[in-house]
Amino acid sequence: MRKFALKWAVLGVPALIAAGCATYPDPATTRQIAEGMVKEGFTASPGHAKRLVQDRSQQICSKIAGAPLTQEEAAEVVKLARASMRYPASGKLAGDWKIGNKLAHDGAGDRILRGKLEKRKENGGLCQNCHALAPGEINVGNVGPALTGYGLQRGASEAVVKLTYERIYNGWAYVPCSNMPRLGATGHLTPEQITHMVAYLLDPQSPINQR
């Protein structure tokens, strides 16, 4: 009797799994359920609810089960990212590396604290959260590529300056749906702030370019 029960238990597991997969919602329904759960669990003030609304690029990038982008979807993300680009009124894309250094290590801004948006004169970039920066720094991340020696390796030509600015402003113009935050396109950093971060990466005097 025990062998019979064990046999059916073993045979029943695949059957249950198959039944579960057969009744699993389609991607659109899955997205709707997930978004509903997030909305219900969002406890900040109603004024912050707009954070739950995805723009078109985010909708494309939020693929169910990590499904790959189609060529058409990737092209649309790049097109939207290119359209989002804004540049400083001065036209100068490289600012003060000392300010950029502070921004690269400053993680404040846009945080919800005790149900209220953090009061902050300006936001930080917190590049160190994902990238290795100046030589010898320990408290850095490895989610993104190391930026140590960025300017030493690339120089500071006009093309490199523009590329660096745009990758900080909206990196999805180059790598659709990457983990790189769209710091300028989302309004987290101003164009002027981004010019300082460009200088931090490229200026020969910047700590990031010291051997």
| Residue 72 belongs to a domain | no
Torsion of CA 85, 196, 165, 146, to 10 degrees: -130
Residue 28 lies in a domain: no
Supply the DSSP symbol for 22: H
Phi-psi region of 10 (alpha: psi -120 to 50; beta: other; left: phi over 0): alpha
Mean pLDDT of all residues in 186-206: 97
Please check the confidence at residue 9 and state whether its pLDDT lies above 50.
Answer: no
Range name among 39-43, 138-142, 159-163, 201-205 with the lowest pLDDT average: 39-43
Q: What is the value of pTM for the model shown?
A: 0.81
Across the chain, the runs of DSSP E, i.e. the strands, are: 112-113, 116-117
- Is the residue at 106 inside a domain? yes
Q: Does some domain include residue 26? A: no
What is the spatial distance between Cα 180 and Cα 89, in angstroms, rounded to a whole number? 25
- 175 within some domain: yes
What CATH number corresponds to the domain at position 110? 1.10.760.10
Band (pLDDT 50/70/90 cuts) for residue 44 is: low
Residue-range definition of the domain harbouring residue 152: 81-209
Domains of the chain: total: 1
76 in a structural domain:
no
118-174, pLDDT tens digit by residue? Answer: 777 789 999 999 999 999 999 899 999 999 999 999 999 999 999 999 999 999 999
Instruction: Identify whether 120 is part of a domain.
Output: yes
CB contact at 8 A, 166 and 67? no
Q: Choose the weakest-confidence range: 35-49, 82-96, 130-144.
A: 35-49
35 occurs within a structural domain = no
Separation CA 163–CA 161 (nearest Å)? 6
Q: Which of 28-42, 57-71, 173-187 comes out lowest in average pLDDT? A: 28-42
